[in-house]
Copies of this chain bind each other. A is one copy, B any other.
Amino acid sequence: MNHEAVTVIGMGSMGRALAEAFRAAGHPTTVWNRSPAKAADLVARGAVRAETVADAIAASPLIVVCVLDHDAMYTTLAADEAALAGRTVVNLGSGSPEQAREAAVWAARLGAAYVDGAIMSTPPGIGRPESMLLYSGDAAAFARHVDTLRALGDPLDLGPDAGVASLYDTALLGVMWATLTGWLHGSAVVGADGVKAADFTPIANRWPAHAVTGFIGHYAAQVDAGAYPGDDATLDVHLATMDHLVHASRDRGVDTALPELYRAYTERAITAGHGADGYARVIEGLRG
């Protein structure tokens, strides 16, 4: 295997994890950071510290950027922007879909390829094959570098629109917050009757793994079809059981805003005449 050279710009905890994963996979790895001391460990293990951004860019056809935001990326690369011509910038820092699309235009103007990415892992997960990294943007550049990027975790190709990786990122975090908040609420409800979170949680974790993800897979086709047959449970049935949770929460002095919110979505769909539909119908009320 030909080990492509790669440059990592930004040595926060995530940038260091990225550089270490490239280095450990055998890629000649050049690193740059505003404060050079951050790279000391990596350099001791064989990475090369570039003295300047210009040197960092010159060292590799693939420039992976992991700095605070898009402004920090532009400011850093401005030191030798023209040298990006013919290279690929993979931006793994955070930003909005709109910022990613602007960055693709910026890169094109410089003759560089731009791929935007999102890391669905904490730094210790970098380099593990089960960790997901999402990429979207220049398709040819992604194809050229995907074997190198595989050193970071499983690289998922979300297509040529540079904004999509970032959009998935924020939407997936939303699923996470919703799930975490639902679990915390459930833990508060059972906790009020003396149940430990350590007892409730293995069951709560087993339930989504074996049931909820199955429902979601089934409902995805309904969402795309715009038809939501209530073949498992109808909104009418959901509403009645949601009332049990609202009451059980209130009786225990536990905040009811979360169950009242999805109860309201459910009731709104029922009022619109969809009580015999399944839960996926709720998306129609969420959309603009």
Contact = CB atoms under 8 A, between A and B. Distances in A.
Interface of A: 94, 96-98, 120-122, 125, 130-132, 134, 156, 158, 161, 163-164, 167-168, 170-193, 195-213, 215-217, 219-221, 223-224, 232-233, 238, 241-242, 244-245, 247-248, 251-255, 257-259, 261-262, 265, 279-280, 282-283, 285-288
B253 A207 contact: no
In the complex, the count of this chain's copies comes to 2
B168 A178 contact: no
Contact of A167 (B167, B190, B196): B190
A165 to B, nearest CB: 11
Contacts of A156: 203
Given A96-B248, A163-B193, A197-B220, 14 more contacts: A167-B195, A168-B190, A171-B248, A174-B258, A175-B183, A175-B207, A177-B259, A178-B178, A179-B208, A184-B279, A187-B283, A201-B217, A252-B288, A254-B287
Nearest to A121: B211
B287 A175 contact: no
A116 to B, nearest CB: 13
A216 to B, nearest CB: 5
A216 B188 contact: no
Contacts of A158: 199
A225 B132 CA distance: 31
